[in-house]
Structure 1
Amino acid sequence: MSGDRVVVVTGGASGMGLGISQRFAANGHPVAILDVQAEAVERETEALRANGAKVVGLTVDVANRAQIDAAYATIREQLGPISIVIASAGISRSQDFLTMPVDTWQRMIDVNLTGVFHSLQAALPDMVARNWGRVVTISSHAAQGGATDRAHYAASKGGVISLTKSLARAFAANGITVNTIPPSLVDTPLARFGATSGEVPPIEVIASHIPIARAGTPDDIADACEFLCSDKASYITGQEINVNGGAHM
């Protein structure tokens, strides 16, 4: 994979997004980390720079288009045109459907689906201009099988899958591939928080019900992203790459 291709990772300062940011930086790519967590952005950006990586860290709420546009202007100025976007930013909270406030539903859609729309629409012109691009969205196995305690989350991620496939069709002729990874259980700070808060069972309990009986890791997701964004994956587009240990087949 060419090391001069600028990579944007939303949600890139923690969990799966951080693992992806670290992987592309280690491979020599200029990387832009976008995340709503300002302290994590600063900490992880400094850590990567200390290892010699070329990294820009920006505090951004992906649901805010003005913030995305401003961040992308900075990325283009400091790193160059955008070639790869990994849309990993997202939120997930348990909520009973019958008592779900409208603003809880809307925030989930704004971040998880509209945030992907903003992140991709603002970057795709760079890829079209160069006749090459890679997009990977992070969806969820909840979108494939439903989630009884978080219908708003499953719906938002289902929208991400449909958006991914639509963009794959729309931009295939421009040398751009667009794929999605719907993980199941991944051992991240967000997953650990859900377990300690009692929203979900302990990670080890959930993992025991997965055919490959362990939680996924950020490296598992980064492995798939690394391949999908390479020239070796030029004939793969519009696909759901199920990095999930067999949780959904």
Structure 2
Amino acid sequence: MGITDLLTGQHVVVTGGGSGIGDGIARLFAAQGARVSVTDLRAEAAAKTAAAIEADGGTATAITLDVTDEDSVTAGLTAARATHGPVDAVVNSAGAWIGGSVTEVSVSDWDTVMSVNVRGAFLVARGVLPEMVDRGSGRLVMISSVAGLKATRRAGAYNPSKSALLALTRNIAIDYAGSGIRANAICPGVIDGTGMDHTVRAFRNGYTEDYQRWVTELHPLGRLGTPEDVARCALFLASDQSSWMTGTSVVVDGGCMTGY
């Protein structure tokens, strides 16, 4: 993929960039000319994505970052700025899924899911918003889920966390619009082959032909999503192509919400 110019000269931080949706976003953004700080809790995963970007002629740096830890977020963003300069955009893609109804998930499970999916996005936003306010521009893209828009059985921690992330997005949008900052969210359907997909399938006994047929049929377009499907929407929201959009959520789900 050749380098084009939608994000040329822009410094973008991608959390959870070492795999799945985050990896797809980091690669596409780099192909569009961005300098990408690939952050992940797993150092080797971040390094693998960054190396692949560099091999394709892009610019990327791997940063180990725990989105649930304020000191780690501060240190990671400081390292990102030291390499690539001020942060122009952030994509919060780090996520966690633990299955179970409200009485099945433990308090520890609840805290883990909320910490990664909500606290993490909150801490990263807090870490970049002051500089964006000072510069009068910035974009935040939150990776939520269709699970933040509808209920699914035995997801008593995950669904509330993704709904909360949508609320956080709206609050950032309305509070910082006057400073030239935009915040939007993406709600993907089932993205095939990601770590989260494997976790959900293991919980729901999903490695069968019947399950594959059922979960595919939930998406009227006849296939599950790919990280690239989400990445293309994230690129739109992180670029000036969406300059009159803020505080909204874009559903990228192969028609799942419509068919549901």
Corresponding position of 1:46: 51
Name the SS for the 2:249 alignment partner.
Answer: coil
Which of 198, 212, 217 pairs up with 1:208?
A: 217
Corresponding position of 1:232: 241
Mapped pair 1:197 → 2:206? no
Contact 2:97 2:199 in 1 (8 A): no
Structure 1 residues 17 and 204: alpha-carbon distance in aligned structure 2, compared to 1, 3 A threshold? farther
Cα distance in 2 between the residues matched to 1:2 and 1:44: 18
Aligned AA (2:118): L
Name the SS for the 1:205 alignment partner.
Answer: helix
Structure 1 residues 73 and 115: alpha-carbon distance in aligned structure 2, compared to 1, 3 A threshold? same
Which of 26, 29, 48 pairs up with 1:24?
A: 29
Using structure 1 for the length normalisation, give the TM-score: 0.95
1:52: how far off? 2.3
Structure 1 residues 40 and 2: alpha-carbon distance in aligned structure 2, compared to 1, 3 A threshold? closer
Corresponding position of 1:100: 105
Structure 1 residues 138 and 196: alpha-carbon distance in aligned structure 2, compared to 1, 3 A threshold? closer
Mapped pair 1:248 → 2:253? no
Unaligned runs of 5+ in 2: 1-5
Cα distance in 2 between the residues matched to 1:203 and 1:59: 34
What per-residue deviation string (whole Å, max 9, x for no partner) do you get for residues 95-114 of structure 1? Answer: 23213211111111111100
Aligned AA (2:116): V
1:200: how far off? 5.1
Name the SS for the 2:165 alignment partner.
Answer: helix
Once the two structures are superposed, the pairs formed by residues 149-160 of structure 1 within 5 Å of their partners are: 149-160=154-165
Mapped pair 1:117 → 2:126? no
Name the SS for the 1:238 alignment partner.
Answer: coil
Cα distance in 1 between the residues matched to 2:8 and 2:95: 27
Cα distance in 2 between the residues matched to 1:198 and 1:121: 34
Aligned AA (1:237): T
Corresponding position of 1:133: 138
Once the two structures are overlaid, the 10-residue window that deviates more, 45-54 or 129-138, is 45-54
Corresponding position of 2:148: 143
What per-residue deviation string (whole Å, max 9, x for no partner) do you get for residues 50-101 of structure 1? Answer: 2222211111110011001001111111100001000000011212321321
Cα distance in 1 between the residues matched to 2:220 and 2:176: 35
Name the SS for the 1:57 alignment partner.
Answer: strand
Q: How many residues align?
A: 249
Cα distance in 2 between the residues matched to 1:97 and 1:171: 34
Once the two structures are overlaid, the 10-residue window that deviates more, 202-211 or 234-243, is 202-211
1:46: how far off? 1.5
Aligned AA (1:217): T
Name the SS for the 1:123 alignment partner.
Answer: helix
Cα distance in 2 between the residues matched to 1:212 and 1:243: 11
1:191: how far off? 4.4
Structure 1 residues 19 and 8: alpha-carbon distance in aligned structure 2, compared to 1, 3 A threshold? same
Identity %: 33
Corresponding position of 1:217: 226
Structure 1 residues 204 and 169: alpha-carbon distance in aligned structure 2, compared to 1, 3 A threshold? same
